[in-house]
Amino acid sequence: MSYTTVEDALATTIKLLTGYSASNVAQGSYTVLGSGQTKAVVLQPGSFSAEMAAQQWKRSQWNINIELYILWQTTIGDTSTSLKDARTALIDHLDKYPTLGSTSGVVRAMVTEGREPELWQMGAQQFWKQILVMQVEERGVVNYAANG
């Protein structure tokens, strides 16, 4: 049970979608934006909460920021269309994997929010960036220490 396990499962799930691979999906690194890709995803940790759901059962809610980047095109209209298409395809794909490929402990995963798109610059390249928030609920047993 850990954030890292959940984020790894999300990265793996995104890479199952046509057009996404290790060359344009990264965890915590923006180097994929300088690799000539027209679209990219960078996963970053978001907020979280946890509570004891019952004796020895812990419920964690992890929020993962899916930063979707679309390389700026000739017009805002073209860029906007590309962003909408990529966002829709990504959300529709993730909806098919509500437990992130049966990841141990994950009971529900879904994109719950999309933040306002913004212009983002890296070197000479401009991207339109939108953050999609993936909310993942994970449950597991807590093993108490002997003298707990």
pLDDT of residue 18: 97
HSE value, Cβ hemisphere, 13 Å, CA-based, for 102: 0
Model pTM above 0.85 = yes
- Collect all residues with Cβ–Cβ distance below 8 Å to 141 and sequence separation of at least 6: 56, 57, 58
Q: Write the DSSP symbol of residue 117.
A: P
Segment (H or E) for 3: helix 3-14
Gap between the Cα atoms of 39 and 45, Å rounded? 20
Q: Write the DSSP symbol of residue 17.
A: S
The total of other beta-carbon atoms located within 10 Å of residue 79's CB is 19
**118-122 and 106-114 strand pairing:** unpaired
Q: Per-residue pLDDT tens for 57-85?
A: 899 999 999 999 999 988 889 999 999 99
Average pLDDT over residues 38-50: 96
